[in-house]
Structure 1
Amino acid sequence: MTDNDAGRAIVLDVIGLEREHVESGLAPNIADLVADGARADLQSPFPAVTLPVQSTLATGQSPANHGDVANGEYDRENDTAALWERDSESRDRLWESASEAGLTTGVFCFQHLIGTTADVALTPSPIEDEENNILEMNCWTNPDGFYDELEAEYGHFPLHTYWGPGANEESTAWILDAAREAIDRYDPDLLWIYIPYLDYAGLAHGASSDELREAIGVADELVGDFLDFLRADERWGETAVNVVSEYGFHDVDTPVFPNRALREAGLLSVQDDGEGGEELDLPNSRAFALVDHQVTHVYADEDVVDEAREALTGLDGVERVLGEEGKKEYGVAHPNAGDLVCVAERSGWFQYYWWFDDANAPYYARDMDIHAKPGFDPVELFFGDEGLVSLDASKVGGSHGRADVDGFYGLGGPAAPDSVPDDVDARTVAPTLTDLLDIEVETAFERDAL
């Protein structure tokens, strides 16, 4: 790719960034880093949601192979559903395989980092009580004492600005400060950094909103400050900076409630949550929907799959209901996938609610409780009238997941090539990094390097 191999690769994962944002002048610092010929549209895998895309970027494999087909997971054996809690031991992600190849590696704020073998790593891990109430902010880090040193210098990681109705640029600034400290202290050869700020405006307000355009400028300024730090570092001459984004946004105005449809069809059961609300009763439900932005995995008993399909087909905002052949077509034919997979129309998105009256919402519905809810809840970005977060799904202005809005891919820095193809498959990012760094790993990439 270049006359000289890069001695260091920095990956900036700027969520929600699109090529048009860079080329229209909204992100001048990123545009200055990445020359015209080194910019591309990034083709995300389906579903274009956080964990499936992150695993594809970091492994070079598709969801059908790495198995991360959603942000959530349904455990068929134990009849439980949860978000963000899948075991990470089976993954061979680039920062781990590069470490085995002899490089010093780092990664910040990707999903499922606890226990990673990266030399320097950080992910939020607050200390909670038995009811998931946060007792103290904390982060899991490698090495063990790294977070204590960061907290002494920058204060606790601002979790309240990382997600929820108070989400803002403060958490992104903290992550980039921590990344600077990692470079100063541990000098990683590969450093992968999650930059979340655009996600909030994209989800809350949508792709064409003024709020998103303003957020692009804020994120670009933060990235620009970090790039200035890199340029002053003695290793800048051997550095290749990879700018990626995981997905782009749609404007949406149609929330879809598949669990309500399944309940009306007599397939989903509820029970008293102990506080006067209706809790999902998974053991006695014959079908339920694990929602995830514009994609929903529907898990159903074998004898009611057709009934579930009938209940979901034709709902306003639903474009397709995929069966076995459809899952193969969309690249999610994996045991972790639902028996059916619903794809929203461009203006639609899926919400997990199964109750018909907000008075019957479960106790956690109005809280920011990402693990208790059996589905991703973007309404957590809005303050509620009766609790911390709203129950008004009509507030949500943006969504993603259909994989038909490209993200961004670009290469810049002294050790980066000056051109890339016009379109880049997300599966080529990991092999391209190994090529840049001139290392061999055992990972079975599905695509060659650029």
Structure 2
Amino acid sequence: MIKVVFQIVFLLGISFTILAQEKEPTVILISLDGFRYDYVERFKPENISRFISEGTQAQSMISSFPSKTFPNHYTIATGMRPERHGIVDNTFYDPEKDEVYAIGKRELVTDGSWYGGTPLWVLAEQNGIKAASYFFVGSEAAIQGVRPSYYYDYDGRVNNLTRISKAFEWLQMPDSIRPRMITMYFSDMDDIGHRYGPSDEEQIGARLKKLDAELGALFEGVKSLDQEVNIIIVSDHGMVDVTLENRILLDQLVDGIKARIVNSGALAHVYLLNPGEKEAVKQQLLTKKGRFKIVDPADLEYYGDLSTHADRIGDLIILADLGFYLANDQGYLDVVARRMRMDGSTARGEHGFDPKEKEMHAIFYAKGPQIKSGLTIDSFDNIHVYPLICQLLGLPIPSDIDGKLEVLQPILK
């Protein structure tokens, strides 16, 4: 607890010292999955726009590679890039475990042995601050043997207002048990973006309007509390339109390659049965012309230290060009085409591409008693959110993270 000392001096020269207690700050970290950097400018949602005007915004936030949901959420949570914290994609193979991690495998998602780094909620709990999570990647697993004091197993059927109502309950708990590190997750913009593509003004605008109203209830509720609450709103990645004509048949591309091929979409990981054949396989794949690249992970500028989890990334990566998509087989394309006809859509939204592509950029908005208002900052990498939150909560910043406090320190009062 922070204490402020006031000296009151009376005419008689007698002084009294009064100890006044400041309220300890709380941080609510909100993730809006798939919320592209330009949605606010395009659709002007009332409550989010007001939130931005009263706080700080970045021109955009740059995703880590690949620009997928799980690796980027966990990067925000740990301040480490995916190749260091270990969640290198939504789906990947771990040769040591001899198992494929996938976001749909609940027994693996909740297994803390897959997750490196020290997530914000773990750091908070280790330092005597209670944490709570209404969904966030990693929060369901015991990482370093620790979970948030309050958390829920992911269930996409839980509506947004239920999640917001629970946040209010947490905030109104007695000080001794009240969480001061809260994470929340909303999938609306990712769901609608995948289904119709980010260019569908009607569908994207309608879903954003609904989400904005729900977040408005959260903002107003926080205002009514006599607490020092800093709210940080982020997203994990952007979104780009992909038409049926821009699908690449992955099974045909890798036909004859002796390897385990994991994942599809913007990229696929190639785990060779004989790693000594890497250069030969790379050249073989390059003979198949198309809108994709064949890259050695060691040559990718997005990756830094590959000493920890290079085995999870694979020997080669097949990386689709922006707006193209690696489809497993023709049967998958037929299913997509049927769904598109039912929806009346001409494209689907996808992500996972080169983080430098502006369409993949995410958002960063922040507001609170410790945050400057009316400020716009340059785009920055999402690894830097972690040390900012540590600073807001008075937590020690781990020395082994990739994020740097000096990047976002200028937004603090």
TM-score range, shorter chain: 0.7 to 0.9
Contact 2:92–2:269, Cα closer than 8 Å, also in 1? no
Distance change in 2, residues 1:340/1:423 (3 Å): same
Distance 1:215 1:232 in 2: 27
Equivalent in the alignment of 1:309: 282
Distance change in 2, residues 1:58/1:349 (3 Å): same
SS of the residue aligned with 1:407? coil
Distance change in 2, residues 1:339/1:38 (3 Å): same
Alignment of 1:367-382 (within 5 A): 382=339
Query: For 1:176-212, what per-residue CA distance to the aligned partner results, in whole angstroms no more than 9, with x for missing partners?
Result: 3333333344531110111111001111221211222
Query: For 1:121-169, what per-residue CA distance to the aligned partner results, in whole angstroms no more than 9, with x for missing partners?
Result: 1123xxxxxxxxxxxxxxxxxxxxxxxxxxxxxxxx5x4x4xxxxxxxx
Choose the corresponding residue for 2:127, options 84, 88, 101: 101
Alignment of 1:399-414 (within 5 A): 399-402=350-353, 403=355, 404=357, 405-414=360-369
Contact 2:297–2:313, Cα closer than 8 Å, also in 1? no
Q: Kindly provide the amino acid, as one letter, of the partner of residue 229 in structure 2.
A: T
Query: For 1:46-84, what per-residue CA distance to the aligned partner results, in whole angstroms no more than 9, with x for missing partners?
Result: 111011101210111112221221112313256442402
TM-score, scaled relative to structure 1? 0.71
Equivalent in the alignment of 1:298: 270
Q: Kindly provide the amino acid, as one letter, of the partner of residue 112 in structure 2.
A: S
Deviation of 1:382 after TM superposition, in Å, equals 4.5
Determine whether 1:14 maps to 2:32: yes
Determine whether 1:438 maps to 2:410: no
Distance 2:361 2:281 in 1: 31
Equivalent in the alignment of 1:71: 90
Query: For 1:12-64, what per-residue CA distance to the aligned partner results, in whole angstroms no more than 9, with x for missing partners?
Result: 11112234222344322111112277111111111110111012101111122
Provide the aligned length of Structure 1 versus Structure 2. Answer: 357
Q: 66-75 or 424-433: which moved more?
A: 66-75
Distance 1:327 1:94 in 2: 28
Contact 1:14–1:243, Cα closer than 8 Å, also in 2? yes
Distance change in 2, residues 1:37/1:227 (3 Å): closer
Equivalent in the alignment of 2:300: 327
Choose the corresponding residue for 1:256, options 243, 248, 269: 248
Distance change in 2, residues 1:234/1:226 (3 Å): same
Choose the corresponding residue for 1:120, options 147, 150, 160: 150
Distance 2:304 2:129 in 1: 32
TM-score, scaled relative to structure 2? 0.77
Contact 2:35–2:190, Cα closer than 8 Å, also in 1? no
Q: Kindly provide the amino acid, as one letter, of the partner of residue 20 in structure 1.
A: D
Alignment of 1:1-400 (within 5 A): 7-35=25-53, 38-40=56-58, 41-77=60-96, 79-84=98-103, 85=108, 87-89=111-113, 90-112=116-138, 113-115=140-142, 116-124=146-154, 159=156, 161=157, 171-185=159-173, 187-210=178-201, 211-235=203-227, 238-253=228-243, 254-263=246-255, 266-267=256-257, 286-301=258-273, 302-306=275-279, 308-310=281-283, 312-313=285-286, 318-327=291-300, 330-331=303-304, 333=306, 334-353=310-329, 382=339, 397-400=348-351
Query: For 1:430-449, what per-residue CA distance to the aligned partner results, in whole angstroms no more than 9, with x for missing partners?
Result: 10011112221435222322
Give unpaired runs (5+ residues) of structure 1. 125-156, 162-169, 268-285, 367-378
Q: Kindly provide the amino acid, as one letter, of the partner of residue 259 in structure 2.
A: A
Contact 1:243–1:410, Cα closer than 8 Å, also in 2? yes
Distance 1:21 1:329 in 2: 25
Q: Kindly provide the amino acid, as one letter, of the partner of residue 364 in structure 2.
A: Y
Contact 1:204–1:395, Cα closer than 8 Å, also in 2? no
SS of the residue aligned with 1:299? strand
Equivalent in the alignment of 2:11: none
Query: For 1:280-337, what per-residue CA distance to the aligned partner results, in whole angstroms no more than 9, with x for missing partners?
Result: xxxxxx2132125312211112244345434543667643211143235544842210
Deviation of 1:97 after TM superposition, in Å, equals 0.5
SS of the residue aligned with 2:365? strand
Distance 1:45 1:199 in 2: 17
Distance 1:349 1:206 in 2: 13
Q: Kindly provide the amino acid, as one letter, of the partner of residue 349 in structure 2.
A: G
Query: For 1:350-395, what per-residue CA distance to the aligned partner results, in whole angstroms no more than 9, with x for missing partners?
Result: 2334xx567xx9xxx98xxxxxxxxxxxx5995999xxxx9xxx97
Give unpaired runs (5+ residues) of structure 2. 1-21, 409-413
Distance change in 2, residues 1:329/1:182 (3 Å): closer
Percent sequence identity is 21
Distance change in 2, residues 1:190/1:77 (3 Å): closer
Distance change in 2, residues 1:443/1:325 (3 Å): closer
Contact 2:77–2:120, Cα closer than 8 Å, also in 1? yes
Distance 1:428 1:314 in 2: 40
Distance 2:46 2:269 in 1: 39
Distance 2:23 2:251 in 1: 52
Determine whether 1:429 maps to 2:385: yes
Contact 1:258–1:312, Cα closer than 8 Å, also in 2? no
Distance change in 2, residues 1:441/1:78 (3 Å): closer
Distance change in 2, residues 1:227/1:406 (3 Å): same
Q: Kindly provide the amino acid, as one letter, of the partner of residue 54 in structure 1.
A: H
Contact 1:252–1:399, Cα closer than 8 Å, also in 2? yes
Query: For 1:105-130, what per-residue CA distance to the aligned partner results, in whole angstroms no more than 9, with x for missing partners?
Result: 11222223233421111123xxxxxx
Contact 2:95–2:312, Cα closer than 8 Å, also in 1? no
